[in-house]
Chains A and B, each alone.
Chain A
Amino acid sequence: MKKTGAQILCEILIKEGTEVIFGIPGGAVLPLYDAFPQYPQLRHILFRHEQGAVYAADGYARVTHKAGVCIATSGPGATNLVTGIANAYMDSSPIIAITGQVARSFIGKDAFQEIDITGITLPITKHNYLVSNTGELAEIVQEAFYIAQTGRPGPVLIDIPKDVQQEEVEFVYPDKVNLPSYKFISRGHSIQIKRAAKLIDKAERPLIIAGRGIIISEAYDELKELAEKAQIPVISTLLGISSFPENHILSFGMLGMHGMAYANMAVQNADLIIAIGMRFDDRATADTGNFAPLARIIHIDIDPVEIGKNIRVDTPIVGDVKTVLKGMNGEIETREHLDWLSQLDQWRYEHPSLEIRQGDELLPQYVIHQIYEATQGNAIVVTGIGQNQMWAAQHFVYTKPNSLISAGGLGPMGFELPAAIGAKLGQPEETVWCVAGDGGFQMTIQELATITQANLPIKIAIINNSCLGMIRQWQELFYNHSYVDSTLWNPDFVKIAEAYDIPGIRVKQRDEVIPAIHKAMDYPGPYLIDFVVEPEENVYPMVQPGESLSQTLDFPKVTSNLSDILRKERIV
């Protein structure tokens, strides 16, 4: 049967299980949008900026484990996707980014809204395509899904010229994907698994570092079995949070620059690190030269490139985390590590990194913890970047698998609101809390319109300190308290929300926090709370740049002169 390129794309999207598409129409994708009414199975969510659409596709992918699809037109539409594609690449999130391109005869002529998006996204996609032959479109789209969703997931971009979308060609569903040059190893090498199991059996102070690979592979049960069978404490990277229940007796929180002091101490004193589905990011390891100095390291990852990239490892296992852990759990012995675990408990007692100061001040940590109390952990938390992200990672107790959605590798401010939209569409039954910073919120604030138009009951908590908080913290600590351009004049966020037809409330006192959160949760639609928090609150614990995890600071240093500056600038 003959079909147009646009119809073929829709057919394959449906065959690949796509239900929601995030995008904005434009000149070079008009033929595609024109075909949408023939495919009511595809729900298109209209965004206000392409960056919002791609973050939403990412959020959707993270909560559903299937590729999120976003669409933008050629030129500026395509370039507006770039930050989101880079973000998905850094965090191994499967995205299919579809861009319109000028008609084939105009390519290379600097036509209106022509841009070389495959060239631009070369280093930030797992793979990309410029479709030059309509007959190959079906195969390419199918391949793109396969590449995006298998092995180490990642974004794939398909650039489709306008005349390809319009051209009619004979259409049959393509056969199975045939990509001889693309391979990934699922099953770990059995000898390596046996070697690792021996190391685990012999270890006195073993420690698991759980990364996002566990969530991607949905290896929650296997991780739990490993930890429980050999009684190994578990800490996680930022993106590994919610791979292991944080209320478990073996859970010791997050490691890294703003990790728990006791988690960092565990790393520095362990004699065996079992690093699972993580890539030794510098925010997790701090000074790599002095990372886990006493430990042998087992590294399990599906991407061979990650082995030995940042840290020299003793026993690498390349493979899918779930498959490898299953094999390993069969090999290891039942163990107890009472001394080691009580040592960790002792450190936790001596360095209570999660203590929240008493008093009247409205502390951001308190806000996050109350959102946890109100939801009992039964929610998906989507964070922005910076202080709000760290507090959300630290003070919410993640007990439910895959309940923290946060952009770790790239750290793009403004991720939170669109990603929350994607998360809500992917898991409509879940309560979604968007934890935003007042800075980042204003980078994608226009998507409030998307929320209203698509009628999505997302709960938004702005941690409003009238600052680019993490920047201000660094200026305080490392730039002699000189707050150059990090303090913000902010609009009235409640009025803004109201203008978008979203009710909201401003909270300035500690005793208003709990009622406000309940009000938001009881309200059937979207709701915004503007938490006006202590402006000079810093994120602790902290490992200063260049130092090792051994030098984790638990306690805040003296604060500075910000209050005066802010009092002049803030409107509330």
Chain B
Amino acid sequence: MSDAKHTLVALVEDKPGVLNRVASLFRRRAFNIQSLAVGHSEQPGLSRMTVVVSGDSAEIEQVRKQLEKLINVVRVSDITKAAIVARELSLIKVKATASTRSEIIQLVDIFRANIIDVASDSLTVEVTGDENKVESLIELLRGFGIKEITKTGRIALTRGNNL
């Protein structure tokens, strides 16, 4: 419980330095941040930030309130317990030889992932899903030899009409 992961969604003003303010707050208050993803929201001038932090409920409440205290932050919700859809995207460049290529492609199909680049000695895989799915695929690909990985971190929205 003490280091449970929480998903916070923050609506922030699209102004220079906002990401810096948020990042600085996490460092300054020693909050334990797992991932942070940010992009434009549906409202002009506002961005939506998804932050995954770990801590007990009192700590997470502090994180939420401290974030909300920033002048450029409009609203912060802890949506951990809400019905949400959450995804992360990962690109994985994996070693591939003539003998392993078809096996990799099969795995990618099972995970409903995509091959987005093919080279003579590697394949680049794009996978989208929750962290478990992404991690499982990465684990399976590890046996072939992974050259590079990049991830977006979690992005999330509540389901249906919530929020």
Q: Which residues of A contact B (CB under 8 A)?
A: 118-119, 122-123, 126-127, 147, 179-182, 303-305, 307-309, 312
Q: Please tell me if the beta carbons of A303 and B24 are within 8 angstroms of each other in the complex.
A: no
Q: Please tell me if the beta carbons of A181 and B71 are within 8 angstroms of each other in the complex.
A: yes
Q: Please tell me if the beta carbons of B74 and A181 are within 8 angstroms of each other in the complex.
A: yes
CA distance A149 to B87 in the complex (A): 42
CA distance A180 to B71 in the complex (A): 9
Is residue B17 within 8 Å, beta carbon to beta carbon, of the partner chain? yes
Contact partner of A304 (CB less than 8 A), chosen from B20, B65, B73, is B65
A329 → chain B, closest Cβ, in Å?
A: 28
CA distance A309 to B73 in the complex (A): 20
Residue of B nearest to A312 (CB): B58
- List chain A residues, Cβ under 8 A from B58: 308, 312
Known: A181-B13, A181-B72, A181-B74. A122 touches B20 (CB 8 A): yes
- List chain B residues, Cβ under 8 A from A127: 71
Q: Please tell me if the beta carbons of B73 and A123 are within 8 angstroms of each other in the complex.
A: no
B55 → chain A, closest Cβ, in Å?
A: 13
Known: A122-B24, A123-B24, A123-B28. A305 touches B71 (CB 8 A): no
Q: Please tell me if the beta carbons of A126 and B71 are within 8 angstroms of each other in the complex.
A: yes
10 other A-B residue contacts (CB within 8 Å) besides A122-B21, A181-B13, A181-B72: A123-B24, A147-B71, A179-B71, A181-B12, A181-B73, A181-B74, A303-B69, A304-B65, A304-B68, A304-B69
- List chain B residues, Cβ under 8 A from A118: 17
- List chain B residues, Cβ under 8 A from A119: 20
- List chain B residues, Cβ under 8 A from A122: 20-21, 24
Q: Please tell me if the beta carbons of B62 and A308 are within 8 angstroms of each other in the complex.
A: yes
- List chain A residues, Cβ under 8 A from B69: 303-305
A325 → chain B, closest Cβ, in Å?
A: 23
Residue of A nearest to B21 (CB): A122
Residue of A nearest to B61 (CB): A308
CA distance A180 to B74 in the complex (A): 7
List which B1-37 residues lie within 8 A (CB) of chain A: 12-13, 17, 20-21, 24-25, 28
- List chain A residues, Cβ under 8 A from B61: 308
CA distance A188 to B68 in the complex (A): 18
Is residue B80 within 8 Å, beta carbon to beta carbon, of the partner chain? no
Q: Ordered nearest first, which 10 A-B pairs have the shortest CB separation?
A: A181-B74, A127-B71, A305-B65, A123-B28, A304-B65, A182-B71, A122-B24, A305-B69, A181-B13, A305-B66
B41 → chain A, closest Cβ, in Å?
A: 13
B145 → chain A, closest Cβ, in Å?
A: 42
Residue of B nearest to A151 (CB): B69
- List chain B residues, Cβ under 8 A from A126: 71
Interface contact tally, CB-CB below 8 A: 34
CA distance A304 to B66 in the complex (A): 9
B76 → chain A, closest Cβ, in Å?
A: 11
- List chain B residues, Cβ under 8 A from A182: 71
Residue of B nearest to A123 (CB): B28
CA distance A122 to B21 in the complex (A): 7
Could you show 5 A-B contacts with beta carbons less than 8 Å apart?
A122-B21, A182-B71, A304-B65, A305-B65, A309-B62
Residue of B nearest to A118 (CB): B17
CA distance A119 to B68 in the complex (A): 20
CA distance A303 to B68 in the complex (A): 11
CA distance A312 to B61 in the complex (A): 12
CA distance A528 to B13 in the complex (A): 52
B44 → chain A, closest Cβ, in Å?
A: 13
- List chain B residues, Cβ under 8 A from A312: 58
CA distance A305 to B70 in the complex (A): 11
- List chain B residues, Cβ under 8 A from A309: 62
CA distance A118 to B73 in the complex (A): 18
Bits for B53-84, please: 1 = Cβ < 8 Å to A, else 0.
Answer: 00000100110011011011110000000000
Residue of B nearest to A125 (CB): B71
- List chain A residues, Cβ under 8 A from B72: 181
CA distance A486 to B54 in the complex (A): 43
- List chain A residues, Cβ under 8 A from B74: 180-181
CA distance A305 to B46 in the complex (A): 24
A554 → chain B, closest Cβ, in Å?
A: 35
A55 → chain B, closest Cβ, in Å?
A: 23
- List chain A residues, Cβ under 8 A from B12: 181
CA distance A204 to B24 in the complex (A): 45
CA distance A309 to B63 in the complex (A): 10
